[in-house]
Amino acid sequence: MPKHFALTRQVNPPDVEPKITLEQLWKGLELKVAHPELYLSMVTGADLSTEGEKTVRKMTTKSGVVVQEYISQYEGTMVYFDGVDTEFRVTNTISYDQNNQLLLTFSFVGGVPGQPGYAEKSTHEELNKVVGNVIQKTIDLVRESVQKGSL
């Protein structure tokens, strides 16, 4: 099955409040860079450092795997997560649909970091459900932070 895939979720469905702004969503993605354990259940912690204009993040998973990645942020639009020792790239992209509705897309090239072979063993439907839940959790955590007034 797919080693490369992308999934998108609508940020503000009609029946959900409060509505998240572009600025709030971006702040949520910045928080996800610094504290991935809040957003990814398989992550126990991360250390950040800087190399030039890139952030270097070492994430530790519950299984003990350390994932090292270079992170590049393009304010209000995109975050790139590039594997240092492996050939993966993950993007978190903020965009709009034809009706000006805010969208969040996660794209994966080379599989899912810290989960060797997972994408290749999964169907599109399984990836949409499992990885789609990660996107939705990101949106839900941003919305909770907006409700609490912390974003």
Please give the average per-residue pLDDT across 97-111, as a whole number: 92
Please give the average per-residue pLDDT across 113-135, as a whole number: 71
110 vs 99: CA distance, rounded Å = 32
Residue 27's CATH number: 3.30.530.20
What are 10-51's pLDDT values in tens digits? Answer: 999 999 999 999 999 999 999 999 999 988 888 999 999 998
Residue 40: its pLDDT value, please?
Answer: 85
Number of structural domains, the chain? 1
What are 53-101's pLDDT values in tens digits? Answer: 889 999 998 988 888 999 999 999 999 999 887 788 999 999 999 999 9
| 73 to 32, 36, 70, 134: CA distances (angstroms) | 12, 15, 10, 19
Which residue segment(s) compose the domain that 34 sits in?
A: 5-148
126 vs 140: CA distance, rounded Å = 20
